């Protein structure tokens, strides 16, 4: 969503093999304003995933919010995905707009860490759940706000929630629309850790570097196995694992790592 003097909807910073992607609508709390913004987010992440130099993605928000989800003003003004006179047009806008994100994130090979710097509401909460790992600032808040507006999660929340937490906790969030703080999010497994706001990016980047230091092909294939394993029988998963392992054994990165590991072991004194 560029041009006409507008800032890009997404900012990208590179730190070695780590790409930090920042949603850049701070004045709208990083809400998704229209299809053009969604397209820019999707195109940016898709391009980074194809870059073999990128070993880990970090997704965060610019300003005080991670993402407010849908833009309420845009909904009221009729400039969002909603066409009140043509429900079929609204359905197609969802399919071609916001719904491309969960499908994209499910297909990504590169690991993605969400650094949740503030409120993650509605579609913003779902966006965080699309990521592989979530680290939250103490200022983070989460809510499935759709029901408060008489709506459902149009971007896959009903699929994401019970895969992130228990079914009962998923139902409680979805049915009530309640806002929970970072501590409660940690209790139910929505995030894996909570840190002071001034340490959020430091902690996130530290984890990203621990991921990025490993051979990229092995990490990417491991992610695919974990994603696929949620919906596969063990015999099918083992077959895919064997195929991926065969590929891994024939990469230069594996050979280099194998030699280095053997040399480390060989240097250890024997008793």
Per-residue pLDDT in tens (0 to 9) along the chain, 271 residues: 443 347 899 999 999 999 999 999 999 999 997 888 999 999 999 999 999 999 999 999 999 999 999 888 777 776 667 776 787 788 888 888 899 999 999 999 999 999 999 999 999 999 999 999 999 999 999 999 999 999 999 999 999 999 999 999 999 999 999 999 999 999 999 999 999 999 999 999 999 999 999 999 999 999 999 999 999 999 999 999 999 999 999 999 999 999 999 898 888 776 6
Under CATH, domain 10-212 is a member of which superfamily?
2-enoyl-CoA Hydratase; Chain A, domain 1 (3.90.226.10)
Residues 260 and 269: their CA atoms lie apart, in Å, by: 17
CA 266 vs. chain centroid, Å, equals 40
Residues 253 and 250: their CA atoms lie apart, in Å, by: 9
End-to-end CA, the chain: 64
In this predicted structure, what is the pLDDT of residue 94?
83
In this predicted structure, what is the pLDDT of residue 5?
44
Tens digit of each residue's pLDDT (9 = 90 or more) over 174-198: 999 999 999 999 999 999 999 999 9
In this predicted structure, what is the pLDDT of residue 270?
64
In this predicted structure, what is the pLDDT of residue 14?
98
Instruction: From 76, 75, 71, 78, select the one nearest 28 (Cα to Cα).
Output: 71
- Residue 142 contacts residue 121 (beta carbons within 8 Å): yes
In this predicted structure, what is the pLDDT of residue 266?
87
Buried-state track 202-238, b at ≥16 Cβ within 10 A, e below 16: ebbbebbeebbeebbbbbbbbbeeebeeeeeeeeebe
Residues 174 and 152: their CA atoms lie apart, in Å, by: 9
In this predicted structure, what is the pLDDT of residue 268?
74
In this predicted structure, what is the pLDDT of residue 8?
94
> Token match 């930090």: residue?
20
Residues 239 and 232: their CA atoms lie apart, in Å, by: 11
> Token match 């929340």: residue?
157
Helix (H) or strand (E) holding 146: none
Order the strands of the 10-15 sheet from edge to edge. Answer: 10-15, 18-23, 56-61, 112-116, 133-137, 193-195
In this predicted structure, what is the pLDDT of residue 97?
87
Residues 181 and 219: their CA atoms lie apart, in Å, by: 31
In this predicted structure, what is the pLDDT of residue 1?
41
In this predicted structure, what is the pLDDT of residue 4?
38
- Residue 70 contacts residue 38 (beta carbons within 8 Å): no
Q: Domain map of the chain by residue range?
A: 10-212, 216-267
In this predicted structure, what is the pLDDT of residue 77?
72
SS (H, E, C) 154-205: CCCHHHHHHHHCCHHHHHHHHHHCCEEEHHHHHHCCCCCEEECHHHHHHHHH
- Model confidence, pTM: 0.92
């Amino acid at each position: 969503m560029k041009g006409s003097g507008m800032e890009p909807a997404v900012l990208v910073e590179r730190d070695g093999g780590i790409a930090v992607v920042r949603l850049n609508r701070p004045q709208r709390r990083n809400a998704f304003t229209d299809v053009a913004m969604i397209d820019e987010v999707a195109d940016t992440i898709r391009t980074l995933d194809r870059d073999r130099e990128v070993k880990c993605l970090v997704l965060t928000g610019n300003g005080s919010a991670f993402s407010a989800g849908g833009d309420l003003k845009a909904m009221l003004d009729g400039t969002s995905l909603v066409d009140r006179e043509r429900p079929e047009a609204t359905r197609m806008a969802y399919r071609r707009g916001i719904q491309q994100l969960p499908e994209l994130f499910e297909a990504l090979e590169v690991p993605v860490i969400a650094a949740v710097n503030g409120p993650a509401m509605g579609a913003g909460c779902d966006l965080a759940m699309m990521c592989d790992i979530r680290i939250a600032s103490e200022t983070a808040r989460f809510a499935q706000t759709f029901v408060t507006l008489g709506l459902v999660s149009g971007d896959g929340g009903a699929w994401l929630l019970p895969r992130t937490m228990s079914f009962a906790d998923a139902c409680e969030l979805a049915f009530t629309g309640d806002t929970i703080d970072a501590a409660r999010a940690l209790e139910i497994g929505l995030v894996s850790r909570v840190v002071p706001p001034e340490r959020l990016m430091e902690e996130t980047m530290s984890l990203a570097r621990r991921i990025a230091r490993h051979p990229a092909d092995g990490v990417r294939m491991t992610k695919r196995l974990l994603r696929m394993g949620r919906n596969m029988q063990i015999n099918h998963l083992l077959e895919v694992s064997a195929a991926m392992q065969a590929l891994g054994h024939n990469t230069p990165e594996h050979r280099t790592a194998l030699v280095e590991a053997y040399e480390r072991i060989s240097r250890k004194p024997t008793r």
